[in-house]
A and B are shown apart, each in its own frame.
Chain A
Amino acid sequence: MNTKKMITSLFPYNSVSIIGMEKNSGKTTTLNYILKILKGTKVIGLTSIGRDGEDCDRVTNTHKPKIYVEKGSIVATAKNLLCKCDITKEILATTGISTPMGEIIIMRALSNGFVDVAGPSYNSALIKVRDLMLGFGCDLVLIDGALNRKGSAGNLVSEATILATGASFSPDLTKVVEESSHNVKMLKLPRCSEKIADLTKQILKTGRIGFIDTQSNIEVLDLPTSLNSHREIIDAVKPNHKFLILGGAVSKGLIESIIQNRELFKSFTIIIEDGTKIFIDSNLYHKLSMIPVNLEVLDSINLLCLTCNPTSPYGYSFESEKFCELLKTSIDIDVIDVVGGLL
């Protein structure tokens, strides 16, 4: 994928989120890369879900790159971080959305400079901030997704998504490639049929968990979430059930319970809201598909490309060419090395 192609692929969208597989997978590097290639073509809006972009990673104590924005860009960040942004700031709006680091403020950069971004940590507030920024004349809002906050990739928040992977995930190259390809697979899970989508929406209107049987009848369980309710869900399965609908986050534990009770779930299809809601690794997914159980989504995610960072801040790196080559063969979307250059 070359620069031109990347720019063209971003062009149709007003909002794109960047999510990472792991800390230090190169999200910020990816962001800086996009900001650089789009320079002068679009007014960029920038925010994140939750806190990100520290000088120094709070969790692993490794150096983190800073985000460099161009004059004219619009940035939404928490008030206490304004002093860490060295752009000349024009305050455009205060949002009334509060975070541990103060209210989210929307500002315009009157000069180039580094910014420290911490956006709202829940989706509805993020949507509000995104719309405010678009209202101030942004052409494209980029959302920096924080660690394990894949929620920002959901269709409600952003129209398209970029996934960042990198050497920091594991020193074992094969493992990084395997998990990256698994993550792509989850984000690109197939959408269920229109008919099932309608029934699923009906279930999600009244509850979070439900079943659809062979006659297209629906049954809604009285459970607020699927977390910690494995037993109840498994006990509720009837022989004529065909689809299991899981609203909200789906944990590893539930999938493990389903695998343990494989006889009950033979030829089942599990419908989840979107690919960001399921938290299982490739191994578990493989076991699930062996039952066989299908995994489908209500809304598919528009995954634009995978970016990779062959250097790990823990002091080792992969051979860039080999890394990208392996990724490309196992994944059917475009792969970009944001550090070493374009491929």
Chain B
Amino acid sequence: MRYLDLKNREKIGLEYLINNLTTISPYGNQKKRNIAPIEDAETLKEIFDHLEFFIKRCQNNKKEIQKIELLLMKLKNISNIVLNLQKGKILDEVELFELKINIMIFMEIKSISNDIFLKDFHLVDLNSIIDILDPGTKKIPTFHIYNEYSKKLKDIRNKKSEIEKLIFSTKDNELQIKLKEERREIVVLENCEESKVKIDISKKLISYTSNIFIDINKVKDIDFTLAKAKLSIKYGASRPTIGEHIEFIGMFNPEILETLKVKNQEFQKLDILLKNGNTILTGANMGGKSVILKTLTLNLILAQMGFYVFSDHATIPILNFIQFLSDDIQDISKGLSSFGAEIMKLREITGCLTTYDKGFIALDEFARGTNPSEGKKFVKGLSNYMKDFDSFSIMATHYDGVVDDLTPHYQVVGLKNINFDSLKRKIDLNNKNSISLIQKHMDYSIEKIHSNFEVPKDALNVATLIGIDENLKNIIKNLY
């Protein structure tokens, strides 16, 4: 898939977000399951305009929005009924009931939403359908084949009612059997006349089907955009500017933010700027390189799908593909080792690179499954290869010496500014919580490295903090 496969969508937290999107009606839910990235800048801008408008409405017209939401809750999916009608099928009374009820709700929504929403979201008038399905203008949310539809039906039903009274009052068994027989005949007549009425009504309704579909789509858009607006408000997401490069200031990941919130911790917001070509990301173990790649990819695909992004400010280009190579792909079912699976994925990525103009690729610890001296060559080679394309790529790596002066290089600050001995003492006092203490002191922010720095050698430090056999540590230390 051009915009991430399902596994990666889940991995970067897209599934989590979509599940958190609170669409209410069956139409909104349907739209939620089929969100596609948009490749046209104008369309995307328009969607952002709509979203901006809806966010304002959610904040300023709370009462009306609440009413609309209550109405959305009552809706059932009548698409199939309308389709059947369009095909010329005669609707039965239950289908006519569903149609009537749902269109009554549509009109209630219209009476509120047309006043507060943009013209693109205005529902069309379907009151003529209600007139057909409510001949007595009783405005009650029920339906039956009303007497008003046919004089003949009314007469038949009067006869039925008379005979029922007779049946009840008759004590004579034989007469009762005779009356029941008579009633049965009347019931048949009633059924025939009801069928005629149903044919009549269905024919009359055919001409309205395209208008019903218009309103179904409007309701779908209202529900979906409302859900997006609520999500944006919940996390303080912001509208991205469509530009030529990728830039996020104060970027965060809502899923991890929620997890940290439970632990009473905060997400350290990130600033990052990506220009065409490759960017390298290095950093200490446990420094959150993978989280950075995931968060960046998540925000890019969300923006492309017409969502606000989880960042204080953002610029995004229109991307023709988004690819993510995670650090733990392995397809045992296909008999592939992690390196084999990586190369398969790489083939897909280079395919995208050569086919489409502009895309985004995130590579997490590429070639880590093979021996380091060869792996390094792969990473360096790939980095050089990407320079020739207009696409954006970011590679997180442990390998030294991959970065030349021309390749932009970000580094997780990590434990660089920490007084190592004092942290070690703290951990020694409280051995059980070593991991959470390291996490607490880890600086997850990233900084741009301008000269050709070495990859930080924090592995031994982190291992020492977590706790490693003293002799083993000394042996390793001597090898440095």
A-B interaction? yes
Q: Please, which residues of chain B bring their CB within 8 A of the CB of A91?
A: 93-94, 96-97, 142-144
Q: How far is the CB of B199 from chain A (nearest CB, A)?
A: 16
Which residue of B143, B144, B187 contacts A113 across the interface (Cβ within 8 Å)? B187
In the bound complex, CA of A260 to CA of B416 (Å)? 73
Q: Which residues from 82 to 138 on chain A have a C-beta closer than 8 Å to any C-beta of chain B?
A: 82, 86, 88-92, 94, 96, 103, 105, 108, 110-113
Q: How far is the CB of B147 from chain A (nearest CB, A)?
A: 9
Q: Is A191 an interface residue (CB 8 A)?
A: no
Q: Which residues from 239 to 273 on chain B have a C-beta closer than 8 Å to any C-beta of chain A?
A: none
Determine the residue in chain A with the shortest Cβ distance to B160. Answer: A111
Contact A94 B98 (CB under 8 A): yes
Q: Please, which residues of chain B bring their CB within 8 A of the CB of A111?
A: 157, 160-161, 164
Contact A89 B160 (CB under 8 A): no
Which residue of A71, A94, A108 contacts B94 across the interface (Cβ within 8 Å)? A94
Q: How far is the CB of B257 from chain A (nearest CB, A)?
A: 33
Q: Please, which residues of chain B bring their CB within 8 A of the CB of A112?
A: 164, 167-168
Determine the residue in chain B with the shortest Cβ distance to A114. Answer: B187
The B interface, classified by DSSP as helix, strand, loop or mixed, is helix
Determine the residue in chain B with the shortest Cβ distance to A108. Answer: B142
Q: Please, which residues of chain A bring their CB within 8 A of the CB of B327?
A: none
In the bound complex, CA of A92 to CA of B93 (Å)? 11
Contact B164 A82 (CB under 8 A): no
Q: Which residues from 116 to 169 on chain B have a C-beta closer than 8 Å to any C-beta of chain A?
A: 142-145, 157, 160-161, 164, 167-168
In the bound complex, CA of A103 to CA of B77 (Å)? 14
Q: Is B69 an interface residue (CB 8 A)?
A: no
A94-B76, A94-B97, A105-B94 known; A88-B164 Cβ under 8 A: no
Q: Please, which residues of chain B bring their CB within 8 A of the CB of A277?
A: none
In the bound complex, CA of A333 to CA of B144 (Å)? 44
Which residue of B144, B161, B168, B184 contacts A89 across the interface (Cβ within 8 Å)? B144
In the bound complex, CA of A71 to CA of B168 (Å)? 12
Determine the residue in chain A with the shortest Cβ distance to B143. Answer: A91
Q: Considering only CB atoms and an 8 Å cut-off, how many residues of chain B contact the other chain? A: 20
A79-B94, A82-B93, A82-B94 known; A90-B143 Cβ under 8 A: yes
Q: Which of A88, A89, A90, A94 has the most CB of B within 10 A?
A: A88
Determine the residue in chain B with the shortest Cβ distance to A103. Answer: B94
In the bound complex, CA of A86 to CA of B93 (Å)? 14
Q: Please, which residues of chain A bring their CB within 8 A of the CB of B143?
A: 90-91
Q: Please, which residues of chain A bring their CB within 8 A of the CB of B157?
A: 88, 110-111
The interface bits of chain B over 437-451 (1 if a CB of A lies within 8 angstroms of the residue's CB, else 0) are: 000000000000000
In the bound complex, CA of A136 to CA of B93 (Å)? 19
Q: Please, which residues of chain B bring their CB within 8 A of the CB of A82?
A: 92-94
Contact B93 A88 (CB under 8 A): no
Q: Which residues from 156 to 203 on chain B have a C-beta closer than 8 Å to any C-beta of chain A?
A: 157, 160-161, 164, 167-168, 184, 187, 190
Q: How far is the CB of A109 from chain B (nearest CB, A)?
A: 10
Contact B97 A96 (CB under 8 A): no
Q: Please, which residues of chain A bring their CB within 8 A of the CB of B142?
A: 90-92, 108
In the bound complex, CA of A96 to CA of B190 (Å)? 28
Determine the residue in chain A with the shortest Cβ distance to B157. Answer: A88
Q: Please, which residues of chain B bring their CB within 8 A of the CB of A108?
A: 142
Determine the residue in chain B with the shortest Cβ distance to A96. Answer: B76
Q: Please, which residues of chain B bring their CB within 8 A of the CB of A86?
A: 184, 187
In the bound complex, CA of A71 to CA of B160 (Å)? 12
Q: Which residues from 79 to 94 on chain B have a C-beta closer than 8 Å to any C-beta of chain A?
A: 92-94
In the bound complex, CA of A90 to CA of B167 (Å)? 23
Q: How far is the CB of B151 from chain A (nearest CB, A)?
A: 16
A111-B157, A111-B164 known; A89-B93 Cβ under 8 A: yes
In the bound complex, CA of A170 to CA of B145 (Å)? 47
In the bound complex, CA of A86 to CA of B168 (Å)? 16
Q: Please, which residues of chain A bring their CB within 8 A of the CB of B168?
A: 112
Q: Please, which residues of chain B bring their CB within 8 A of the CB of A92?
A: 142
In the bound complex, CA of A91 to CA of B142 (Å)? 6
The interface bits of chain B over 386-424 (1 if a CB of A lies within 8 angstroms of the residue's CB, else 0) are: 000000000000000000000000000000000000000
The interface bits of chain A over 9-43 (1 if a CB of B lies within 8 angstroms of the residue's CB, else 0) are: 00000000000000000000000000000000000
Q: Please, which residues of chain B bring their CB within 8 A of the CB of A96?
A: 76
Q: Please, which residues of chain A bring their CB within 8 A of the CB of B97?
A: 91, 94
Q: How far is the CB of B164 from chain A (nearest CB, A)?
A: 4
Q: Please, which residues of chain B bring their CB within 8 A of the CB of A103?
A: 94
The interface bits of chain A over 149-183 (1 if a CB of B lies within 8 angstroms of the residue's CB, else 0) are: 00000000000000000000000000000000000
In the bound complex, CA of A112 to CA of B165 (Å)? 9
Contact A88 B94 (CB under 8 A): no
A79-B94, A82-B94, A111-B164 known; A90-B144 Cβ under 8 A: yes
Q: Please, which residues of chain B bring their CB within 8 A of the CB of A90?
A: 142-144
Q: Please, which residues of chain B bring their CB within 8 A of the CB of A88?
A: 144-145, 157, 160, 190
Q: How far is the CB of A33 from chain B (nearest CB, A)?
A: 15
Q: Please, which residues of chain B bring their CB within 8 A of the CB of A105?
A: 94
In the bound complex, CA of A152 to CA of B96 (Å)? 32
Q: How far is the CB of B140 from chain A (nearest CB, A)?
A: 9
Q: Which residues from 284 to 317 on chain B have a C-beta closer than 8 Å to any C-beta of chain A?
A: none
Q: Which of B76, B161, B167 has the most CB of A within 10 A?
A: B161
Determine the residue in chain A with the shortest Cβ distance to B97. Answer: A91
In the bound complex, CA of A82 to CA of B94 (Å)? 9
Q: How far is the CB of A35 from chain B (nearest CB, A)?
A: 12
In the bound complex, CA of A88 to CA of B194 (Å)? 10
Q: How far is the CB of A110 from chain B (nearest CB, A)?
A: 6
Q: Please, which residues of chain B bring their CB within 8 A of the CB of A94?
A: 76, 94, 97-98
In the bound complex, CA of A94 to CA of B190 (Å)? 23
In the bound complex, CA of A152 to CA of B314 (Å)? 59
In the bound complex, CA of A103 to CA of B161 (Å)? 29
In the bound complex, CA of A250 to CA of B156 (Å)? 54
In the bound complex, CA of A86 to CA of B184 (Å)? 9
Q: Which residues from 307 to 339 on chain A have a C-beta closer than 8 Å to any C-beta of chain B?
A: none
Q: How far is the CB of B285 from chain A (nearest CB, A)?
A: 40
Q: Which of A96, A105, A112 has the most CB of B within 10 A?
A: A112
In the bound complex, CA of A88 to CA of B161 (Å)? 10
In the bound complex, CA of A113 to CA of B187 (Å)? 9
Contact B144 A110 (CB under 8 A): yes
Which B positions have Cβ atoms within 8 angstroms of A? 76, 92-94, 96-98, 142-145, 157, 160-161, 164, 167-168, 184, 187, 190
Other CB < 8 Å A-B pairs besides A71-B164, A89-B93, A111-B160, 7 of them?
A82-B92, A86-B184, A90-B142, A96-B76, A105-B94, A110-B144, A111-B157
- A selection of 16 A-B contacts at a CB cut-off of 8 Å is A71-B164, A86-B187, A88-B160, A90-B142, A90-B144, A91-B94, A91-B143, A92-B142, A94-B94, A103-B94, A105-B94, A108-B142, A110-B144, A111-B160, A112-B164, A113-B187
| Cβ-closest 7 pairs across A and B | A91-B97, A90-B144, A112-B164, A86-B187, A91-B143, A92-B142, A90-B142
Which A positions have Cβ atoms within 8 angstroms of B? 71, 79, 82, 86, 88-92, 94, 96, 103, 105, 108, 110-113
